[in-house]
Amino acid sequence: MRRTGGSLLGLLLLVGAGTACGQTGRIDIVRYTLHLTLPASGDAISADALVDFDRVGDELDTLVLDLVGMAVDTVGFSDPAMLDSVCASFRTPTSGRGGGSLCGMTIPPIPFEYDGRQLRIPIPKRTRPTRFDEPPWETVAIHYYGVPRDGLIIGTSAHGRRTFFADNWPQRARYWFPTVDDPNDKAEFTVMITASKPWRVIANGRPMFPEERARGMWWWWERRPIPTYTMVLGAAEFRVSAHRPVSSARSSIPIEVWTYPEDSAYADSVPFKYATEIVETLQRIIGPFPYEKLAHVESSTRYGGMENASAIFYPEKPYVDGTLREGVVRHETAHQWFGDAVTERDWHHLWLSEGFASYFDLVAGAALHGDSVLTAGIRANAESYMKSSVVDRPIIDPAEHDLMKLLNANNYQKGSWVLHMLRGEIGDSAFFRGLREYYRRYRDSTALSDDFERVMEQAAAKDLGWFFAQWLGQPGYPQLDAAWSYDSATHRLTLTLTQVQPAGWGTFRLPHVTIEYVENGVAARRDIAVDGRRTVDIVEMPAPPAELRVDPDGKLLLKTTVTRTNRKAGNP
């Protein structure tokens, strides 16, 4: 479909410069800017979108944006010479369909093609800026309208009031604004929302022009590049409570809880009681909090929690039921570092987000409430994973193309175990040193599992290729049959460890398997290396133990059975 339009929205120059941090094909999106008036009734929206982009090669002649099920009215390019001041129209709106233009300017329209799923915009050969204050990127402006089929959910809260919530994971932002909807291309995000009272509007980033909120005008700007699946807005009759802010190196980070009024007291006193302390703990473990604020928001998300950058959304049902607990808050807060600031470059490396959040939920919980949080939590993760339907598939599973099916026990529970075992393999000092370097190096960018592996190898000063190959690339987990016998004549105990997991899972290398021998309430320990299907270990002891335990501290993701046999030492 090819259309041209008449007049076009004006364009906005934001304070500050965009940062190019991702690429999709030959295009790098620098920033999205949305101007949207929320309708008092009905589900139709009319919006203006500005997309700042840079192109890697001058030969590129088409900008392709994902946009599903909307109607595109007009497309045009900005004239940088016109953008010599911050647009004032948002603060003094003009009339027109869906809020009119942003700056009261008109720009010559250009042809475009739109098939209901992708918007294709021909772009002329790039000319370099002629003025020192012109941005190095280009800007396309799009006026569009329609009823979002997904992504922006317009509905009614559990308390019977109208609400608006974006819910973009994994690729649903494309249903309500034009994007390169892929985690590989991160960008800044700005929303300018006009909303009727008594609605309040929350979004990513820091507030701009807060004095205009009394007139129902809300402006949020996330200056850090974030993935599109975390770019959101929420509007409802919120009550906002401020928790103690977090001190960072250069500023104070506001911590807020946005809830429906009926649920505010419960939220502040139960799930978000330690909201500030959680951020402070994770800062000490990982590094500086990546954003300028953190809001915890009651919403209509379909997920148990959604880690939108600086504005985490939680479903309303557990608020109403009184079942929302701190563990979910710790998990989603950990995502601000891993998933949001450091984003998996490819969906099949989702464990870099979900496995990390699952593990550092427990690590933060242990720091706040005692080691039993980690001990019990990691054990529960093992049990959940072993009962799951994905044990026959590896964590990195390129054969799985249904992104929703990647929300599984491999990427969550087994992913947390990969980190737990890596910590045990290289020690706390190297583990946390490497973790902090990984965050520092890839913050505001994207990474793959190989990137994480390289950083951890440098921190540990040892080869870890075998570790990542088996725990990310092999399905399943080791199942050990531990059979032992004692020869009273030679005072030798023979232990035979056999890996009995399905052949399709392969064998696992386990350099440090702790064996504990208990006699008269006294425990003695010995570490042995398991490599291959069958391992035999012989140890001298004066009497047979009353009990033999394998991995007594639960440091490894494995299942064991222990039996005593009548074999004699030297005859395994």
Query: Tell me, what's the pLDDT at 13?
Result: 29
Query: Tell me, what's the pLDDT at 85?
Result: 36
CB 185 within 8 A of CB 226: no
Instruction: Please check the confidence at residue 1 and state whether its pLDDT lies above 50.
Output: no
Compute the average pLDDT of residues 274-281.
Answer: 98
Enter the tokens of residue 155. Answer: 């509905």
Query: Tell me, what's the pLDDT at 407?
Result: 98
Compute the average pLDDT of residues 336-358.
Answer: 98
Query: Tell me, what's the pLDDT at 127?
Result: 58
User: Mean pLDDT score of the chain, rounded to an integer?
Assistant: 90
Compute the average pLDDT of residues 483-488.
Answer: 97
Compute the average pLDDT of residues 361-370.
Answer: 98
Residue 488's pLDDT band (boundaries 50, 70, 90)? Answer: very high
Instruction: Please check the confidence at residue 336 and state whether its pLDDT lies above 90.
Output: yes
**DSSP characters for 206-254?**
EEE-GGGGGGTEEEEEEEEEE-GGG--EEEES-EEEEEEEEE-SSSEEE
Query: Tell me, what's the pLDDT at 14?
Result: 32
- The three-class DSSP label of residue 55 is strand
Q: Could you tell me whether strands 27-37 and 45-55 are parallel, antiparallel, or unpaired per DSSP bridges?
A: antiparallel
Query: Tell me, what's the pLDDT at 124?
Result: 82
Does residue 88 or residue 429 have the better pLDDT?
Answer: 429
Q: pLDDT by residue (tens digit) across 185-208?
A: 999 999 999 999 899 999 999 999
Query: Tell me, what's the pLDDT at 99?
Result: 34
Q: pLDDT by residue (tens digit) across 204-235?
A: 999 999 999 999 999 999 999 999 999 999 99
Query: Tell me, what's the pLDDT at 365?
Result: 98
- The three-class DSSP label of residue 91 is coil
Does residue 421 or residue 247 have the better pLDDT?
Answer: 421
Compute the average pLDDT of residues 541-548.
Answer: 95
Q: What is the pTM of this model?
A: 0.91
- The three-class DSSP label of residue 331 is helix
Residue 144's closest CA among 8, 29, 2?
8
Phi/psi at 375 (5° precision): -60, -50
Residue 134's pLDDT band (boundaries 50, 70, 90)? Answer: low
Instruction: Please check the confidence at residue 4 and state whether its pLDDT lies above 90.
Output: no
Residue 251's pLDDT band (boundaries 50, 70, 90)? Answer: confident
Phi/psi at 53 (5° precision): -145, 155
Query: Tell me, what's the pLDDT at 137?
Result: 82
Query: Tell me, what's the pLDDT at 520?
Result: 86
Q: Which of 59-63, 70-74, 256-260 has the lowest mean pLDDT?
A: 59-63
Compute the average pLDDT of residues 78-98.
Answer: 44
* H or E segment to which residue 296 belongs: strand 294-299
Instruction: Please check the confidence at residue 455 and state whether its pLDDT lies above 80.
Output: yes
pLDDT over 70 percentage in the chain: 87
Residue 236's pLDDT band (boundaries 50, 70, 90)? Answer: very high
How far apart CA 230 and CA 481 sit, in angstroms, is: 45
